[in-house]
Each structure stands twice: as structure tokens, then as C-alpha cells.
Amino acid sequence: MMTAALAIGLVCGILAVGLNWSVHSLRLFITELDLGWRAIFFPALGAGIAIFLVRSLMHDSAGHGVSDVIKAMAMGSEVLRRRMIYSRFFGSLLTVGSGGSTGLEGPIVSIGGALGSALGRWLDMNERHKKLLVGYGAAGAVAGIFNAPLTGLIFSLEIIIGEWTYLTILPTIIAAVSATEVSRLIMGNKIAFTQEIAGFSIASLLACFALGALTGIISILFARSLLLWEKFFSKISLHLWIRATIGGLSVGVIGYFMPEVLSEGYSTTQVFLTDTIRPELGFVLLFVLLKFLACGITLGSGGVGGVFAPSLVIGSGVGLAFGMILHLLPLNGVAEDAAFALAGMAGMVAGVMHGPLTGIFLVMEATSGYSMILPLMLTASSAMVVSSFFEIGSVYTRELIKQGSLIKRGTDRYLLHHLNIVDILDKDFITIRENLLLRDFIDEFKKARRNYFPVLNEEKECVGVVFLDDIRPHLFETNLYDLVTMGSVMRSLPVISLNEPISAALDKFETSKVWSLPVVEGDRFLGMLSKSTLFDHYRRELQIQSI
């Protein structure tokens, strides 16, 4: 596992640096062309070609990256296919490089995940190990692209793997460290945002709570606006790459008026953090608004990219504006605006991704300073609390939770998900015909091992079940022997069909209040599922899976 983690880390580092470098070169090339108003067509061109490539040539879907990886952790690593490595690489290169307002982190995380999954398959590993490799890949990808090993580790453990055990921590660290080292060897040890922040006063710390709440609310709005744009574009019944082109064109128009919203936007954040060139408050607010819009359109129209970078950039804008407004108030000892911009970034990441630790460590490492730790902690955690009060999951997991496909290992749902109805059917019972008389039933009953008897009609369909408890009081009333047919004393029960999940079957147990229910495939009766057998298997599964 260590070697695999090392290999994944190295490759992720190279890919992350490569993607970052290619995108910046492309951006530079386009800006140097200096086409004036004609530049509005570039995002459209990029997004159109990206979707065409991804869909038609590589037969992949353009997901949000991180949600695919999280889904893979829950449902099985085969969700991440090898072609994702290329499709996400070139898709995001074109989308972001041409000016699409989104980030590279989502795609690079899914690339890392797909890499891990591919390696696991190649080495013929078991599912559990394959999933861990996916997590190592995600750690390497984040560490490589941000030049931030701790963030890679925390992101992977907090958001992707979700499990802190000896099996996860050391290899994840190896992947994160090796990816960072590779990235530093190629690009040099660059710190994303250089910022020295002096001590924070208590008043400023308290203000961080408010900033946290604010970013929490904005992160909810951000996540919802993404969904709305997605819904809006899915209603346009045109070919996907045309949709992307339309989206790209609208982003291009926005970018014509404010070029800062295009692409990742880190350079703008850098400006926000520098004291010397301080933008106007109005500009900052407008920037946040337009970035919000442009990112929603880019992702909603199908652009390949993530929400990591937009969250950071929007967060810095919100934080800066917050700081500026605070300075307008008659207060003493308020910290610098830039400090609030940093705190806003952490808050936004925490709110959007439901990962406060990731937000804290990312900003800390990106600024290479420990001095901000207190405001970061307060902002990120309060943003997380506000955001999770209104939303059940992060921007990544919300859809999965709604589909019911976010299932964590060791939970009730996970155990049930892995029990197969066919394997635990009871078959040692006696079936009876519905027009069998009580007299003849007595003979059958002598041979029975179970206290229930499924009743079949002439077409061999299960029409009900006779429970011994129901007829026991009358078994010795001989005058009833020829009067009672089994069809008239059976209970008609809900049937469980073979392909339904066990959780649905359990719901039927709860409503019908019996211990055994018939299982059918189409009209064919297969056997009975009993709660006691189910419990046996459930416990065995729990014993195997518990840590």
C-alpha cells in the first residue's frame, strides 16, 4: 500500500503541475492575443470543444469531479473509469484555459481518484484497498495542485475517505508528501498567497463568527444556484456541446466587462490580499456577484471543472468586503481587510464542502503562516455549522444523499446494501394450495419444520401465507375440518421482489408485523425471507466489517 501510495502521489503531482501549467500557458496565450471584444467567444469555443471531446470522443460524463470520487467510495471504485484521467485532464484544460469560470481542483481530484482506481484494478486488489487507493489519489491531487501536503491529507481523510485509522493515515501522508515534493521539484516551492498577518484582537475574533455565518449562508446560496443553473440548462433540449457553447458565450460576455471573473481567479484573490493595490468596495461586491453568476453558468452548462477554486475566490471577495465594511464602522482595533479575506476563504470552503478542517489547513498552508489559525478556525467552524443547519450534505454529497447512494462502510445501510436476498432465503417450508381443506392440512402440518405455510394458487403464484399461530386454537375442532379452506385463513402479505433493496423489504416487515414474507421474482415464488435469518446474516456481516 505504501508503494502504491508513493506511485500515485508522484503521478498525481506531475499531473497536477502539468494541468496547472498548461492552463496558465493557454490563458497567457489568449490574453496576449489581445482580441478586444472578440475574446468573448473564447470561453464558448473552449467549453464547446471540451464537451465535444469528453462526450463524443472519450464517452465520459462531465461530473463535478469530487462527487464522483465520493460516490466511488460509497458504491464501488468502478464508478471511476480509466478514461476519466484523460477526459477530465483535457476537458478542464480547455474549459478553464479558455476562460471558463471554474476550478481545476475538482477535475484533478477525480483524475487522482481514477488513477488510484486504475492502479488498484491493475494490481488486482480487493475493493477495500481499491477505495483506499482512490483516497490516496485524491490526497495527492490536492497536495500537488495547491503545493499543500497537509491540506491534501486532511481533504482526503475528511471529505473522501472519512475514516481515521492506521490503514488510512500513513499511506495518505505518503501520497500527499510525494505529490507535493514532485510539484516543488518542478515548479519550485511557491507559496500561493504571501501574507503576513499581525495578531488578531478579541473584537476581530468575535467578528469572525459573523463572517463565518455570512460565508455559511453564501455557500448555501452558491450551492443552490449551481443546482438551479443545472436545472435551467437541462431544460434546453439541444446537444450537450451546444449548451456548453451557449454557457461559454454568456461567461465570455460577462468576462468582457470584468475579465477578473474568468478562469480560476486566483490572481484576483492575490490582488485582494495585497495591501498596496486595494480595490473599491463596490468593485469587490460586483466581482463576487459576477463570479457567482459566471461559475454557475459555466458548471450548469456542463463545463468541466470544480467548485473548489470558485469557493476560495468568492470567499476572499466576501471576506474582503466584510473587512472593508467593518472598517467603515467606528470600531477600534479591527484587523486588516486581507485577514478577513483569508478567513472568508476558509469559511466558504468549509460551508460549500462541509469540510472545516480542509478550509482551515488550506488557507493556512496557502499563506504559509500559522498566525491566522485562530480566526480561520472560528470562521470555518461557524460557516460549517450554519451551512449544515440548512443543508443535509455538502455540494458534493447532497445529490448522492437524495439518491440514497451515499452509504458509509460499517453503517446499517451499508450492511443491508451488501446482503443479497437470494442468499438468505428460507426454503425448508411446505407450500400448500389455496383450496386445501383443514383436514388435509393437518397431514401436511405434521411434516412441517416451520410455523408458516406459503399458499400458492394454480399458477404457482404466492397469494398469501398461513400462520400456525392464527389457526392453532381451532386445529382440534374436528367439525371445522371440512369447512375451512386454507385460502380463507391465510393472510395476504406484501411480497418482496428479488431486485428490491433489503431496506425496502425491512420496511415491509415493519408495516406488516410478521416475521416472514414471501419473495417473488416477477410472478414466480422463490421462498421466504425471515427476520431471524436476516438477523443472523446481518450480525455475521457486522462482525466481519467492524474495525
Partner 1 sequence: MSKWLTVADVVQLLHVPEATIYRWVRQGDIPCIVRRRKHYFNQSTLVSWAESKHIHLEEHTRRNRKKNVPVSQSHLIEALKAGNVYQAVPSDSLEELFQEVALRMDLPQLITESLAEQLMHREQLSSTGIGKGIAIPHPSITLGQQITQSMVGTFFLETPLDFKAPDGLPVFVIFVLLSADSFHHLQLLSQMARFLSHAKMNDFLKHSPSLDNLVDKFQKTLAETT
Give the residues lining the site for partner 1 (CB under 8 A).
Answer: 412-413, 434-435, 437, 463-464, 470-471, 473-474, 477, 479-480, 482-485, 487-492, 503, 507, 510-511, 513
The minimum distance between CB 465 and partner 1, in angstroms, equals: 10
Q: What is the DSSP string of 363-414?
A: HHHHHT-STTHHHHHHHHHHHHHHHHHH-SS-TTTHHHHHHT----TTSHHH
Distance CA 37, CA 406 (A): 45
Nearer to partner 1, 57 or 392 (CB): 392
Using the minimum distance from each CB to partner 1, give the nearer residue, 181 or 440: 440
Q: Please give the Cα distance from 15 to 4 (Å, whole number).
A: 16
Nearer to partner 1, 230 or 440 (CB): 440
Contact 471, 489 (CB under 8 A): yes
- Amino acid, res. 28: L
- For the bound state, the minimum distance from the C-beta of residue 448 to partner 1, rounded and expressed in Å, comes to 18
Dihedral of the alpha carbons of 53, 55, 59, 62, in degrees to the nearest 10:
100
Minimum separation from the CB atom of position 466 to partner 1 (A): 8
Decide if 43 contacts 255 (C-beta within 8 A): yes
Closest distance between partner 1 and the C-beta of residue 439, in Å?
A: 9
Decide whether 156 or 397 has the Cβ nearer to partner 1. Answer: 397
Local structure of 103: helix, strand or coil: strand
Q: Name which of 327 and 413 has its Cβ closer to partner 1.
A: 413
Nearer to partner 1, 257 or 535 (CB): 535
Distance CA 544, CA 547 (A): 8
* Residues linked to residue 452 through DSSP beta bridges, in sequence order: 467
In sequence order, the 6+-apart residues with CB closer than 8 A to the CB of 268 are: 260, 287, 313, 316, 317
- Which lies closer to partner 1 via its Cβ, residue 58 or residue 407? 407
Q: How far is the CB of 406 from partner 1 (least distance, A)?
A: 13
- Nearer of residues 230 and 500 to partner 1, judged by Cβ: 500
CB of 170 vs partner 1, minimal distance in Å = 33
* Closest distance of CB 476 from partner 1, Å: 11
- The distance of closest approach from Cβ of residue 412 to partner 1 in the complex, given in angstroms and rounded to an integer, is 7
The 3-class secondary structure across 536-547, one letter per residue, is: HHHHHHHHHHCC
Work out whether strand 524-530 and strand 516-521 pair parallel, antiparallel, or are unpaired.
antiparallel
Cβ atoms of residues 303 and 102 within 8 Å: yes
Give the separation between CA 161 and CA 152, rounded to whole angstroms.
Answer: 12
Nearer to partner 1, 88 or 433 (CB): 433
- Residue 536: CB minimum distance to partner 1, A: 21
DSSP conformation class of 456:
E
